[in-house]
């Protein structure tokens, strides 16, 4: 697997102002029909039946043993739910969900990924830059959204997981890609390419599909507690997740690392000569090598020294 790197100017902008990056590889599905909330509620970890227009939430699809299939961002309108899937995963999620549509369900699904652009704004001044681009000066709760018209262009601003203090998605139609991108650039945002964004999300500890979000891990191990409701009705995988929560003990946990030398995703971590976990993402930045890894909680509790081969690895403090 590749190691992400970041330009120093982009890194400084992310920490001091805000950066702009293209997230259009995320999938976009539209759910409609009278039982749309019921279906997602019985399929995923979050309680979603009370969402009103302009509101949103994150929820996780899990296997029957509580392992992560994907993390979805849900946004409610009056008559539909928009769902962002992970990168290039909309088709798989659409096929998966349709397997659980029963004959009494009134549920329809449309994949509009190819017709949608998604841009990410991240940094301490993300909101100010969005306002400078013409979006409303409103403090949106996490995952909530608003629609804006720029002449004949319709765009949507969504509060999302923060990096260096704040984060927003801007969604629009693919035909308006260039106009929306230029509008955001004109607000003074600095462009972060795909490698730079990956560095920033690793530094922020955000899990990513195919790296930290896989069927080897459960949501609680990925630190996604806020995406799980512990007082809702049954959903696929609930028994395992509820058991882990009630016991207050996880087998492993996602942590941030630094390393004294080269580090590759997929490497096995060792503690006292025994397997301690797995490195899932790595990046190189101004202050050296960083990464994310799942580490056994027993090893974390013992504060044992971690290594990958001859390279010393340290938990980020």
49-77 tens-digit pLDDT: 879 999 999 999 999 999 999 999 999 99
Q: Is residue 221's pLDDT more than 70?
A: yes
Range 122-137 average pLDDT = 97
Nearest to 196, CA basis, from 1, 8, 5: 5
- Domain residue ranges of the chain, discontinuous segments joined by +: 1-17+251-317, 21-188
CA-based max dimension of the chain = 63
Residues contacting residue 119 through CB under 8 Å, at least 6 positions apart? 20, 21, 22, 23, 24, 169, 170, 180, 181, 184
Is pTM, for the whole model, over 0.85?
Answer: yes
Q: Are 145 and 158 in contact (CB under 8 A)?
A: yes
Q: Count how many Cα atoms sit within 13 Å of the Cα of residue 280 in the half-sphere of its side chain.
A: 25
Q: What is the mean pLDDT of the chain?
A: 95
With cut-offs at 50, 70 and 90, classify the pLDDT of residue 259: very high
Q: Count how many Cα atoms sit within 13 Å of the Cα of residue 212 in the half-sphere of its side chain.
A: 26
Q: Are 45 and 19 in contact (CB under 8 A)?
A: no
Q: Are 227 and 237 in contact (CB under 8 A)?
A: no
The CATH class of the 1-17+251-317 domain is mainly beta
Range 192-202 average pLDDT = 96
C-alpha triplet 77, 79, 53: angle, nearest 5°: 25
Nearest to 47, CA basis, from 84, 74, 83: 74
Q: Do domains 1-17+251-317 and 21-188 have the same CATH topology?
A: no
pLDDT at residue number 311: 95
Percentage, residues of the chain above pLDDT 70? 99
For residue 232, with 0-12 CB atoms within 10 Å meaning exposed, 13-18 middle and 19 or more buried, which class applies?
A: middle
What does residue 221 show for φ and ψ, rounded to 5 degrees?
A: -65, -25
Q: Are 245 and 280 in contact (CB under 8 A)?
A: no
pLDDT at residue number 249: 83
Range 89-106 average pLDDT = 96
pLDDT at residue number 280: 98
Q: Are 211 and 19 in contact (CB under 8 A)?
A: no
Residues contacting residue 291 through CB under 8 Å, at least 6 positions apart? 202, 256, 257, 258, 259, 263, 265, 279, 280, 281, 282, 283, 313
Domain 21-188 has CATH 3.30.1360.120: yes
Q: Is residue 1's pLDDT more than 60?
A: no
């Amino acid at each position: 697997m590749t190691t992400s790197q970041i330009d120093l100017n982009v890194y400084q902008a992310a920490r001091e102002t805000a950066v702009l990056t293209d997230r259009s590889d995320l999938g976009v599905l539209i759910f409609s029909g009278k039982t749309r909330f019921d279906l997602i509620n019985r399929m995923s970890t979050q309680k979603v039946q009370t969402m009103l227009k302009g509101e949103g939430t994150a929820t996780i699809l899990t296997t029957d043993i509580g392992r992560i299939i994907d993390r979805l961002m849900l946004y409610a309108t009056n008559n539909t739910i928009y769902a962002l899937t992970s990168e290039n995963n909309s088709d798989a999620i659409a096929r998966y969900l349709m397997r659980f549509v029963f004959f009494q369900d009134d549920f329809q699904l449309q994949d509009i990924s190819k017709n949608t652009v998604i841009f990410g704004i991240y940094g301490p001044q993300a909101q100010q830059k969005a306002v400078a681009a013409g979006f409303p000066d409103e403090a949106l709760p996490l995952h909530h959204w608003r629609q804006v018209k720029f002449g004949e262009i319709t765009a949507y601003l969504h509060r999302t997981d923060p990096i260096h203090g704040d984060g927003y998605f801007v969604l629009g139609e693919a035909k308006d890609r260039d106009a929306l991108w230029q509008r955001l650039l004109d607000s003074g945002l600095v462009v972060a390419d795909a490698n730079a964004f990956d560095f920033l999300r690793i530094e922020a500890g955000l899990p990513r599909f195919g790296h930290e979000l896989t069927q080897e891990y459960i949501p609680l191990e990925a630190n996604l507690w806020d995406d799980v409701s512990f007082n809702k009705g049954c959903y696929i995988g609930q028994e395992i997740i509820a058991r882990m929560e009630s016991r207050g003990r996880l087998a492993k946990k996602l942590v941030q690392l630094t390393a004294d030398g080269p580090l590759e995703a997929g490497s096995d971590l060792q503690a006292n000569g025994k397997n301690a976990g797995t490195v899932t993402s790595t990046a190189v930045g101004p202050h050296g090598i960083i990464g994310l890894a799942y580490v056994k909680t027993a090893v974390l509790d013992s504060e044992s020294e971690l290594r990958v081969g001859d390279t010393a690895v340290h938990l980020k403090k």
